[in-house]
Amino acid sequence: MTVDVQFDAEANVATCGGESLVFHCHYYNCALHKAIEDGMGPDAAAVLQSSAARVIERQIRALSAGRAEVEELFSTLGFGKLNLSSLNADGGEAVIHGSHYAMGWTALHGDRETPVCLFPAGFIQGAVSAMRDLPLDRIKVAESRCYAAGAGDCRFKVEVL
Amino acid sequence: MAVDQEAVVSALGTLPLTGNEEGLIPAFGLYLTRHYAAYYNDASYAYLHAAHAQGDEAVKTARSALIEAGHICAFNTFGGIMVSQEWEAVLGPMLDSRDDWVHGIVAVINALGWGKWRVDSLTANEELRVSIANTYESTGYLASHGQSEVGCVCFLAAGGVAGIMNLLYHGDIMSKPALSQAYYDELFRGTGAFVGEETACRAAGAERCELIARR
């Protein structure tokens, strides 16, 4: 699959799978993430992950995308290299090499104690939910190690409940 | 020579702004993403609504933090684009004056998928008025929450218009300065900085979102 982004030159709006796509850089992505973490404290993680999961689930369902297409979409949009190949019916481990969020955070703020890849975790949750045709709350995704917290790559434990 | 908006949008559409073999989009001295408007909106408005449940001081803090993210975006993204070779190649021949740079960066913004921006008026070194037919922020708010009861919601756009004026009339992006933290602090935190304000918002019932940047 080649990721097909449609640009409406009259409205200056880009869409893919029914979702509006906008260009933003790592400065803004990390700044918004930090603003919400600073402002919402312990509630922020669920907000950031679930916000990602909802939009990705809708999009992957609309695209009827499988694993290879999901991985291609993730990298085409600039989020890093996602590998879902070790997932099975019960879940497993997803891996991201060169996570945009983790590398961006480290470049701007240095290492942190907790994982930062909440958007990617939500992306994986939404994608697995759509691919398995299960509701979002049946898919649990948690980042177990993160480049921004000193690991070599970013790994996510995926559970199908 | 006037900035040809359509030519700019068309030229930028030909740039290879998709993930490379590492799944990253390095461009203009940045790492870009082609991200989800709904993600930004859902997360930002969850924060805004949570603040409204806590009271006026929390609302003020949340609005300020969300606009500050817009400042950071404008400084680094607009700034990075305006010092790039691509800017010089595509926009350079159309730019005769500092005011032209304002129209030039608005033309570039119109290629980012953020909706249709229009410069309504520009008074050099004093005031910029921009209106937007369809900010992704107001569009997303209306789709998820209906008409806003919490006022204007285009925080990125508010930070963006301030950023344009700070880069061009408070600082001097035309001289291609280093986009350092110290320069950011000088442009956005020092005295005399431009501040963006949304005076009308589609999410709150207006026909277009209207923004003003002034000192």
Domain boundaries, given as residue ranges, for chain B: 5-214
Nearest to B165, CA basis, from B194, B192, B122, B132: B194
- The larger pLDDT score, comparing residue A1 to residue A122, is at A122
What is the average pLDDT across B133-146? 97
Asked if pLDDT for residue B1 goes beyond 70, the answer is: no
CATH topology of domain A25-160: Muramoyl-pentapeptide Carboxypeptidase; domain 2 (3.30.1380)
**How much of chain A exceeds pLDDT 70, in percent?**
99
**How much of chain B exceeds pLDDT 90, in percent?**
87
Closest Cα in chain A to B181: A108
Q: How confident is the model at residue A1 (pLDDT cuts 50, 70, 90)?
A: low
Closest Cα in chain B to A3: B18
DSSP result, A59-97: HHHHHT--HHHHHHHHHHTTS-EEE-TT-BTTEEEEEEE
User: Residue A79 and residue B23: Cβ atoms within 8 Å?
Assistant: yes
Provide the pLDDT for residue B177: 96
What is the average pLDDT across B139-146? 97
Provide the pLDDT for residue A20: 97
What is the average pLDDT across B137-152? 96
∠ CA(A78), CA(A82), CA(A84), 5° rounding? 155
Pairing outcome for strands B195-200 and B117-123: unpaired
Domain boundaries, given as residue ranges, for chain A: 25-160
Averaged pLDDT score across all residues of chain B: 95
Distance in Å, alpha carbon of A69 to nearest chain B alpha carbon: 14
User: Residue B34 and residue A52: Cβ atoms within 8 Å?
Assistant: no
| Cα B22 from Cα B9, distance rounded (Å) | 27
Q: Residue A13: exposed, middle, or buried by beta-carbon count in 10 A (0-12, 13-18, 19+)? A: buried
**Chain A interface mutation, best of B10, B20, B22, B34, highest count of A Cβ atoms under 10 Å:** B34
